[in-house]
Structure 1
Amino acid sequence: MTGIIILGAYGQVARLVRSRLLQEKDAHLTLFLRRSERITDADPERETVVEGDVNDYAALVEAVKGQDVVYANLGGRFEPMAANIVRAMDADGVRRLIYVTGLGLYHEVPGEFGRWIEESCGHEVMEDTRRAAAIIEDSDVNYTIIRAAYMDDAADTDYETTCKGKLFRGTTISRASIADYIMRLLADQQLDNRSSVGIDRPGTDADRPMW
């Protein structure tokens, strides 16, 4: 049985992925989150709930031990968390990482929308996000970084992807689409290895998020 640890397991995308994994994949899930009482419906046969903070290296390295896949869906200061994730994976010999972040890591968002992102998020936040991605890309883990457009709760799974080095397209994406792409990554071990992938909803190019 595949072991998958979800870091930030109460996040909105993470909950969609968790639900689909339980329905569609023979996997044991480790649900890692800061407030474990938020999860009240864990399946004792297939899930282990661990209360912990990714900034706590000792707790993280213990939770990552024995896993096949680390899926990170986090908020906060990203650079120290990325460093801990890579360090814990190296210590435990875990190779596969799926890491969800936002668009604009490489100044790849063109035009007015790209300018607006930099201004609205702020220099400090954007640089922290970029440093975190660089830590992952400079590591020897088998990563897929998912650079998501602005998220909404629509039920559609209409999405397109762009590789690093290409201009980002679109402004929005459903959380269901991100979950669907993560499921594809988990189903196909050859898909987008050691890649940074932009994801958006086709036809949403605009100067601001097209809600």
Structure 2
Amino acid sequence: MMKQTKEELSMSKKVLILGATGHIAHFAIEALIDQSDYQLALFTRHPQHLPEYDQSRINVIQGNTLNQSDLDQAMKGVDMVYANLANPEIKQQAQNIVTSMDKNGVKTLVWISTLGIYNEVPGKFGEWNNNMLGFGKADGYLTTYRAAADVIEASDLNYTIVRPAWLTNKDEVDYETTDKGQDFKGTEVSRKSIGNFVARVLENPAPFAKRSIGVNKPHTDGDKPAWY
């Protein structure tokens, strides 16, 4: 790829990636570097944990999504936001992000959640998933992630909520999707698949706007993931 001029770089879209040291985020970043000309702002509490990326396309920001001023500063000049977060206070993180995006006129958000937040996983696997992730418990994983998704869905953003199956480290991109209101399929999916799906959404957000999408590897149906 030819090196871009300053003028061309200034016209590239800018994506703010929150939780940029996450495993899924790593694959999304690699895919965006390979497949787009986007400028990427990598927001993390621990920048020392980031791998080496093409520095001509990357700006690293140290900050905390629970700090509204950190977010507001990072959001300036951004076209899209991808949030890859895991925290017991994820509902508050969601509220902070929506507030900051509204304040800065940013409309497109890709939000990583999890399967089961709508009790959409059928059969024995659904029962197992609910038990493992604390469905119905006030401080359960599914309860907190559902609360965050509710904040996103109540906003006026062009959001895409991504609900992965149980995650593997397999070096593969192989996935299918379901929409909110449909039964979730399969039991597992690779982190690399989710990262590539995130990049696909960011490269063309319109078809995915206002949707909550389950993502799984085809033909992985069962009572629980194969490695359990």
Q: TM-score, normalised by structure 2?
A: 0.89
Secondary structure class of the residue paired with 1:186: helix
Distance 1:33 1:188 in 2: 25
Larger CA Rg, structure 1 vs 2: 2
Measured in 1, the distance between the counterparts of 2:84 and 2:39 equals 18
Distance 1:40 1:151, change over 3 A: closer
Q: 5 Å matches for 1:83-94?
A: 83-94=95-106
* 2:210 partner amino acid: R
| Residue number in structure 1 paired with 2:107 | 95
Across the aligned residues of Structure 1 and Structure 2, the Cα RMSD in angstroms comes to 1.2
Which of 172, 186, 198 is the aligned partner of 1:156?
Answer: 172
Counterpart of 1:79 in structure 2 is 91
Paired residue for 2:6?
A: none
Give the 3-state SS of the residue equivalent to 1:102 in structure 2: coil
Q: Is 1:115–2:131 an aligned residue pair?
A: no
Question: How many Å separate the matches in 2 of 1:101 and 1:191?
Answer: 19
Report the equivalent of 2:21.
10
- C-alpha deviations, 1:69-91, integer Å up to 9, x for none? 10001111211111111111001
Moved more, 183-192 or 78-87: 183-192
Equivalent position SS for 1:199: strand
Shift of 1:44: 3.6
Inter-partner Cα distance in structure 2 for 1:37 and 1:155? 25
Note the alpha carbon deviations across 1:46-102, whole angstroms, 9 max, x for none.
211111111111101110121111000111121111111111100111000001111
Runs of 4+ displaced beyond 4 Å: none
CA distance in 1, matches of 2:205, 2:51: 31
Work out the CA distance in 1 between the residues paired with 2:194 and 2:17.
Answer: 15
Q: Following the alignment from structure 1 to structure 2, what is the Cα–Cα distance between the partners of residues 157 and 79? A: 30
SS in 2 for 1:191: helix
* 2:199 is the counterpart of 1:187: no
Q: Residue by residue, what CA displacement relative to the aligned partner does 1:156-185 show, whole Å, maximum 9, x if unpaired?
A: 211110000000010000111111211221
Distance 2:102 2:154 in 1: 13
Task: Supply the AA of the counterpart residue of 2:173.
Answer: T
Report the secondary structure of 2:222's partner residue: coil
Residue 161 (structure 2) pairs with residue 145 (structure 1): yes
Q: Decide whether the 8 Å contact of 1:57 with 1:88 is kept in 2.
A: yes
Q: TM-score, normalised by structure 1?
A: 0.96
In structure 2, which of residues 73, 95, 98 is the aligned counterpart of residue 62 of structure 1?
Answer: 73
How many angstroms apart in 2 are the aligned matches of 1:126 and 1:72?
17
The 2-side partners of 1:45 and 1:175 are apart by: 25
Distance 1:153 1:194, change over 3 A: same
Aligned-partner residue type, residue 97 of structure 1: L
Question: 1:200/1:40 Cα in 2 relative to 1: closer, same or farther (>3 Å)?
Answer: closer
Is residue 176 of structure 1 aligned with residue 192 of structure 2?
Answer: yes
SS at match of 2:186: coil
- Where do 5+ consecutive residues of structure 2 fail to align? 1-11
Shift of 1:42: 4.5
Amino acid of the residue matched to residue 2 of structure 1?
Answer: K
